Chain A
Amino acid sequence: MKSRYRRILSAVLSTVVLIGGGALILGQRVNAAGEGKITGSVKLNGAAPHMKGIDMSKDPYCAKAHATDPGHLETVVAGANGGLENVVLYISDGLSGSALTDVPTAVPVFDQKNCVYTPHVLAMDIGQKFKVVTSDQTAHNIHPNPNPMTGNIPWNQSQPPGAPPVEKSWKAAEVIPVQCNIHPWMHGWFVVVKGPYATTDSSGAYTINNVPPGSYTVTAWQEEYGTQTQKVTVAGGQSATADFTFKAK
C-alpha cells in the first residue's frame, strides 16, 4: 500500500513542518490520496539590487529594535546563492474540482515585529482565514488596501501593544498591499490565490503540496519583477519540478 504509506508519511512530514513553523507550507492541506506536488526554486539572475535602509528614528521603539540590525526595504530579498525569498507560487491554470475549491484550514500568521512585517509576503487561499498579530510595544494600524472592485474590501484596524489578533479572510484573488500608516515604511503583501500555493524560503526553494495529477500552469509572483509562468505535468503521487529565474533589473 504504497499510497497509504506515502499519505502517512506526508501527514507526518506536514505536521513536522507545521510544528517547525516553516512559513512556506503553512496552510497546506494534509495530502490526499494520489496527490503529487510541485517543487523547485526561484533564483535571481544577476546582482541583487541594493535595498534602501529605513530611517525608523520617528519611533524610538522601532529604532531601538533595529539598533544593531538596521532595517531595510524587502522588495527583493536574495540569498547568497541567488535564491529569491518571498516569491509566491501558485497554479494559475489547470486546476479543477476540490483541488480548486478546497480551502486550507491552517491559519497563516502575519506578525508585526520590530516594526516590520514578518513575513513580508503572506500567501493564502481565497476564503482562508489568516491572522494579524503584533509582537511590538508600539502601536500599529494594519491597513490592507485591495481594490474593492474585486470583491475584497479594504479595512483598517489599530493594533496597539498587547492588542488581540485580527482574524480575517479575503473573497477574491488579488495581490493586496498592506501598510501601517503610523510607520510608513511598513509595507507588505497579502497574495490571495485560488488553490494550492507556496512561498519561497530564504534559499528560494518552494513546494506546492496537494496537487492532483494533471497538467498545470504554475505562476511565480515577485513584487518587483512581476510574474512568470511554466507548464508542468504532475503524475499521481509524484513530484514535478518547476524552477524559475528572474532577471535582476
Chain B
Amino acid sequence: MRRTLRKWSPFIAAAAVFALAPALSAQLTQYDLEPRSGMESHIGNITGHAKDAKADYRRFCVGCHGELGDGNGENFPWLDPKPRDFQLGIFKCRSTPTGTLPTDEDLSNTLARGLDRSNMPQWSNLTKQQRADLVAWVKHFSPRWVSEKPGTPIQIPAEPEVTPERIKAGRDVFAKVQCWKCHGVEGKADGPSAATLTDDQGRPILAFNFTEGARPKCGSTDQDLYKIFMTGLDGTPMPSFADNIKPDEAWDLVFYLKALEPQKSKEKAIAKQLGLKPVDPNAPPPSGQ
C-alpha cells in the first residue's frame, strides 16, 4: 500500500469541494521550480538539460505557456485551444497508458509535430538537442516528473496487411465501442454527445472530424492513430480503449478510420469497393465480448 502523501490533510480535500469543478490552475512559483532546474531528458542518445533551454523557452514559448509553465502566458485569453499547463504534467499525445506521464520522446515528437488546429506550431527546424533541452525544461515545471516515472509505452504489434475483412471488422469495433457517440457514424464529429464535450478544465472541446482531411493532433501515421485510441488523450474527453479493444482489433479500427478520411488510401479504395455503410446507431449493441 503506497501511502506516500500521508501529510495531506483531508481538510484540503474538503476545501477542494467548494469549487465544484476543482480549479486545476497550478500555484507553483519560480521558487518552487528552481530546485528542479537540473531536470534532464533522454531521447535516443541525446541528453537534454533543462537549464540550456531557458533562452529558447523565453524566445519561443513563454508568450503562451507563461514564465511558470502554467499555460497562463500573455496570450492565454486569445487562444483556443488553450495552452498546456505544464505544471499539471498532463499531456494529450503519449505512447503511455492513460493517467501516466509521457516519455521524453513523446514530448519531443509533439514539439516537432506541433498541434494541428491549435496555436502550437511545428518546431521541426529546431535541432534535436534544442528540443531535448526544451523537453527537460517542460518537465521541470511539474513535480510529477520527480515523484513518478513515465508510463511504459504500449506495445504496438506490427501493422498487418489491409484486407476487406479487416476494414469490416474495424467497422464493427467502431460500432461496438461506440466511437460514433462523439465522432458521429460517418466520422464527422456530429455524434449525439459531440456538442457537450468539455476538457478537464470544463472548456468546450471538439471531437476530431475524420472527414475534413485534418491531421489528428497526435500525429497521422497508422501507428499514431493506434496510439491515440489505445492511450487516450489525457485532459480531454477521449478515453483510453486499451481495456476494450484487442491489439489485433485495434489495427482493424485504424484501417476503418483511414477509410473515413478523405485522403486517398488503400483503405478508402477497399471501403468504397465494399460499399461500406456507416454504422447504425440504433442497432442493438453487439453482445459483450
Direct A–B contact in the complex, CB atoms closer than 8 angstroms: yes
Which applies to chain A's interface (DSSP): helix, strand, loop or mixed?
A: loop
Residues of B within 8 A of A191 (CB): 13
A90 and chain B: residue at smallest CB distance:
B10
- Bound CA–CA A41/B56 (angstroms): 59
B18 and chain A: residue at smallest CB distance:
A226
Residues of A within 8 A of B1 (CB): 101, 103, 127
Residues of B in contact (CB 8 Å), total 64
Residues of B within 8 A of A161 (CB): 176, 285-286, 288
The distance from the CB of B49 to the nearest CB of chain A, in whole angstroms, is 25
- Bound CA–CA A58/B197 (angstroms): 13
B85 and chain A: residue at smallest CB distance:
A148
B100 touches A153 (CB 8 A): yes
Residue A70 CB within 8 A of the other chain: no
B21 touches A160 (CB 8 A): no
Residue A126 CB within 8 A of the other chain: yes
Q: Tell which of B125-133, B232-240, B265-273 binds the partner.
A: B232-240
Interface size range of chain A in the complex? 35 or more
Residues of A within 8 A of B182 (CB): 181-182
Residues of B within 8 A of A166 (CB): 243
A143 touches B285 (CB 8 A): no
Residues of A within 8 A of B234 (CB): 154-156
Residues of A within 8 A of B21 (CB): 145, 177
A59-B192, A157-B239 known; A163 vs B17 contact (CB < 8 Å): no
A171 touches B14 (CB 8 A): no
- Bound CA–CA A215/B194 (angstroms): 52
Residues of A within 8 A of B238 (CB): 156
- Bound CA–CA A193/B11 (angstroms): 10
Residue A223 CB within 8 A of the other chain: yes
A173 touches B13 (CB 8 A): yes
- Bound CA–CA A154/B235 (angstroms): 8
Residue A162 CB within 8 A of the other chain: yes
Q: Tell which of B38-46, B87-95, B153-161, B248-256 binds the partner.
A: B87-95
- Bound CA–CA A160/B239 (angstroms): 11
Given A90-B10, A219-B10, 10 more contacts at CB 8 Å?
Answer: A59-B192, A92-B10, A139-B181, A145-B22, A147-B16, A150-B8, A153-B144, A156-B232, A158-B243, A182-B237
- Give 8 nearest A-B pairs by CB, closest first: A162-B288, A155-B99, A181-B237, A139-B178, A141-B239, A184-B196, A158-B239, A58-B192
Interface residues of chain B, those whose CB is within 8 Å of chain A, are: 1-6, 8-14, 16-18, 20-22, 24, 26-27, 87-90, 98-100, 142-144, 147-148, 176-178, 181-182, 192-193, 196-198, 200, 232, 234-244, 282, 284-289
